[in-house]
Amino acid sequence: MTQDTHVTGGSGMPSRRRFDRRTVLRGAALGAASPLLPATAATASAGGGDRGRGGPAAGSASFRWLGTAGWRIDVGERTVLFDPYLTRFPTGLFDGTFDPRTPLLSRPTAVDPHIGRAELVLVSHSHWDHLADVPHIAGTTGARVVGTETTYHLLVALGVDAGQISVVKGGEVLDFGGITVEVVPSLHSRNKKCSYFAPGTLNSPPATPPSTIGDLPEGDTLAFQVTAGTDGPSAFLMGASDFSERAVQGLRPDLAMIAVPAGTATHRYVPRLLSALDHPRVAVPVHWDNFEVPYGGSPERDPAMDLDAFVAEVQRVSPATRVVVPDYGTVYDGDLRPRNSATESTPR
């Protein structure tokens, strides 16, 4: 039987101090909640994610929301993951008892059914609800991981083959054999005090392997635009609810997966973002679900997020943009219309 894997380290006893949900990670996509696992199974070869397949056929892309900010994009038989976090275990974030000393954890039985044979994993930043399951995925699939220097140092400390990781800064346009990945400099969401959990970067390996969620600094934040083939669709992927307005101008994605803000620290977030993206055809709100309950069934909303107000604002400032509120388990086509039995939902 597969067991959960804990990462242990010298973090001492957990703190019992109570944290208020709205002061810990107030600011949209939050940077929160999840675990880490050193790579198990096979250590991937340096070229594991570069399989040299031909370019995909137009219209062959499909999309699945993995909850939180995560996505699975299938282009033909090829799979790209973005911020895949599926273990989803409690840290106290949603009941006011947030504990940054919560041990890192990854649960293969929660992850493996949803990731396919991933060949590429894109990581927006290094908080645990974005990085947590990446070591396990990298170790078992051989996928190439694309992320910041901080992400690189953390993953190597957690057992991922250094040659399997591509370090980026933002501005790169990478061709993975017909799947184009544009790396976009971005920003982490802010709380009402214009700060956020666990800031900081790493430019060298940590002294000891990370063992708690508090051991994972943000490490700068990226967004990505993924385009399937020469004709698209193109999807803009965010891991946090802030952005560099100048960096996203000119991207013009077909689909925009937009992190829902939990506050107003980012000035005119929705109007500025949609205008800079040139009013995408489809907007998909993400990072609005409670990611400390198991993945499956219907999403449970994060009570700090006003999803309905977000959707209403998108419709007000960009009336030609179709809003799709995603569901777990639904496979969407390249226009974000459901391919399977789950239905597109529209907030009331």
Q: What is the pLDDT along the chain (348 residues), one digit of tens a residue?
A: 334 555 433 333 333 333 333 334 433 333 333 333 333 333 333 333 333 334 444 458 999 999 999 999 999 999 999 999 999 999 999 888 999 999 999 999 999 999 999 999 999 999 999 999 999 999 999 999 999 999 999 999 999 999 999 999 999 999 999 999 999 999 887 667 666 676 788 999 999 999 999 999 999 999 999 999 888 899 999 999 899 999 999 999 999 999 999 888 889 999 999 999 999 999 999 999 999 999 999 999 998 899 999 999 999 999 999 999 999 999 999 999 999 744 344 333
Per CATH, the homologous superfamily of domain 18-323 is Ribonuclease Z/Hydroxyacylglutathione hydrolase-like (3.60.15.10)
3-state SS assignment for residue 164: helix
DSSP 323: E
Q: Where are the domains of the chain?
A: 18-323
* Residue 52 buriedness (CB in 10 A; 0-12 / 13-18 / 19+): exposed
Residue 19: CB atoms within 10 Å: 18
Cα 246 from Cα 243, distance rounded (Å):
9
Cα 117 from Cα 136, distance rounded (Å):
13
